[in-house]
Amino acid sequence: MKTQKLNNKKHRRSGFTLVEMVLVLGIVALLVGAGIVSLVGVLDVGKEKRVKGDLTTLSSALRAYETQNMFLPSTEQGLMALVEKPSSRPAPTSWRPFLKKALLDPWGQNYHYRKPGAKDKGGFDVYSSGPDGIADTADDIGNWDL
């Protein structure tokens, strides 16, 4: 009979109490919350890096378009001149697609194109309107930043 009582006491002491479980879960929740807060800025930096990569791609495609046709697309033709043959003037003499589809920035907006360039003296501006989605504001990221 005494051995049975000793075994029951051993079983009661093994395991965790409710207070210990709540304490451990609270600590885990704090650590996860701190990790999420520290990763928020990483996403913004990643989006900016992607925009700069897209701008390099678009600038290269525009330079190839210029090399093949001896002129850049007009502002009205825009970046779609790299995807579909423009029907307006100046019409390219020897056109081919330079992109499979129009690129969108990480915020889901189209990239903007302007010729002649207002900020880049290289002949054209290609830029994203940034997180606010409004063109020509302080948060724009353009080929003049590369």
Domain positions in the chain are: 48-146
Cβ atoms of residues 129 and 137 within 8 Å: yes
CA distances from 55 to 28, 35, 113 (A): 41, 31, 11
pTM for the full predicted model = 0.71
Closest Cα to residue 112, out of 44, 50, 54? 54
Query: How buried is 142 (Cβ within 10 angstroms: 0-12 exposed, 13-18 middle, 19+ buried)?
Result: buried
Dihedral sign for Cα atoms in the order 63, 73, 136, 49? negative
Q: Both tokens of residue 47?
A: 């989006």
CATH number of 48-146: 3.30.700.10
User: Tens of pLDDT along 56-98?
Assistant: 999 999 999 999 999 999 999 999 999 999 888 888 888 889 9
